[in-house]
Structure 1
């Protein structure tokens, strides 16, 4: 088994969480105006497009490291340079789920479902790096409650459903350089299946429609899949595949691989930490990976274990720029320990070690 192990530090800075309740959150957001800038909501712009516009000069939320060579001994944050990327983040609009298989005598790694939470963490981290993001959401109204009112130069929101190819208007992809896709639904029938939200429709039809609509100029597509997809006919994975979720994810992987678009596929283990119930960007930035910061990367669909949601989000973002990850498929877990943080050199070592072992 090809496995690389490194340590992972939380990549999001500790900020004060918002008080509970609508009034508390509103007061909190006002108190953070100095860091987010005076903001005002914009209007619907064009077909399927929603704008979160600022009244004043736009400001991206910056990551605030405790100390770096650039910031000196005082620990003052140095704003990251604006990135030339435009990253399209595609994910579900519901909560985060996971497959629970009770009363089994065998240990079954629960299948991960990559819905709203992954998108939240990925987008929060992109914003902290001053990387322009574009969201494709079924319910774009949720973007403001999650990330605050951001200027269009920082965050763009489009309404669309990957299950419906007619929703994927070409203007959604204009200027997009990279894509992170983390859609998904539950493995077993649940309320989340309401409205034709089944594994076949989300994990197969949706991915096929999205990849078919992407321009061939995309520099990298990061596709979040799942461990166990190559073993869906084997025990205990066949139990989780009773309704086809692993089979459809594997079909989606194969479609991505044959698309001609440069890709990296990430297969996480069972999710740990969270779920987070944040209502604004600041509380998302407060999220940490707890003790599970050491990263384990493998290949060959042999890795079984757990992984922090934050580790998966960081792996997706790091893979965008690491050339050696193009055309590769990785499994990823995390264990107790310290780690690479946002250091691209350490992440490149992790990915490269997994490929060469």
Structure 2
């Protein structure tokens, strides 16, 4: 089965300009021809002037090409002053969210119970690019105001298992994570935050229907819905992403190079709906990208979406395609 791999963008210096390289070759040949024509001084002067004009024109084109790339980079990263707080950054979706932000050169801040995990997962990063704070959203006293200073956007992708497991150790239950943790986080956020993206689950409005009643035996869907409702009533601009059953890695990662190799096979086409009508699976890669895209798209403000993924080509990281997907969901 074919697979798709997340890859880091080429450095700026490696992207430059095949056209300019051909021009440089032409320019070099032109210069050599000028140097062999010194026997005719008048003609040489004329050629040198032409050479100077060609050199200046080439320099102008190279500068323009560089400026064009710079503009494109700015369009890809429209908010250079953006600081995104990621909560749950060591989880499967959270790791991919952080990796995507690092790829885009967007400044990020993590709240982790164990800050050392950041280095294990993402390697050594510039502290201006990736900031790490120790904290636990389940504990209100951990939500120190200093954590939120300068934060412009928030992505919350915390979660635990629906049924009792070892992940429930240390009071890591759905009630504590999906309800108390979300409530503590949202209550602590400053009113200046431009968007809060919360990862939830499909089926949260159908806890009395099969199969959701089975999924909710220990309250996971009920508590996720309570977290959603608290965010919606907070007055903060929000986007809620209700994911289908999560598939694909990473389940664990050791550094960014490992992380970005997570694959989704052929399941990269995205289904976006509203009204809790979708039933299916969602690639963690797709869910992470939906979260990052929702940060800047006006159409997603104060909206709730269900997201699934199926076989086919996906929208990748193209904002226009994601905007079309979100918009189309409004009309269904």
User: What is the TM-score of this pair, normalised by structure 2?
Assistant: 0.78
Moved over 6 A (4+): none
Give the deviation of 1:191 after TM superposition.
1.0
Aligned to 2:229: 254
Q: State whether residues 10 and 341 of structure 1, in contact with CA within 8 Å, keep that contact through their aligned partners in structure 2.
A: no
**1:87 is the counterpart of 2:62:** no
Aligned to 2:147: 172
**1:325 is the counterpart of 2:289:** no
Q: Deviations over 1:120-165 (max 9, x none)?
A: 1000010000000000001111100111111111100000000111
Q: Deviations over 1:95-115 (max 9, x none)?
A: xxxxxxxxxxxxxxxxxxxxx
Give the deviation of 1:234 after TM superposition.
1.7
For 2:137 and 2:18, how far apart are their aligned partners in 1?
Answer: 48
Give the deviation of 1:72 after TM superposition.
5.1
Give the deviation of 1:188 after TM superposition.
1.1
Aligned to 2:331: 356
**1:214 is the counterpart of 2:192:** no
Alignment map for 1:10-159 (pairs within 5 Å): 10=4, 12-13=6-7, 63-64=9-10, 80-81=73-74, 83-91=80-88, 93=90, 116-159=91-134
For 1:127 and 1:297, how far apart are their aligned partners in 2?
Answer: 25
Q: In the comparison of the two structures, how many residue pairs are matched? A: 275
User: What is the TM-score of this pair, normalised by structure 1?
Assistant: 0.73
The answer to which structure, 1 or 2, has the higher relative contact order (CA under 8 A, 6+ apart) is 1
- The alpha-carbon distance between structure 1 residues 10 and 213, as it changes in their structure 2 partners (threshold 3 A), is farther
- Structure 1's unaligned 5+ residue stretches are 1-8, 14-61, 94-115
Q: SS of the residue aligned with 2:205?
A: helix
**1:291 is the counterpart of 2:266:** yes
- Structure 2's unaligned 5+ residue stretches are 20-68
Aligned to 1:243: 218
For 2:225 and 2:84, how far apart are their aligned partners in 1?
Answer: 24
For 1:247 and 1:174, how far apart are their aligned partners in 2?
Answer: 32
CA RMSD in angstroms comes to 2.3
For 1:247 and 1:307, how far apart are their aligned partners in 2?
Answer: 20
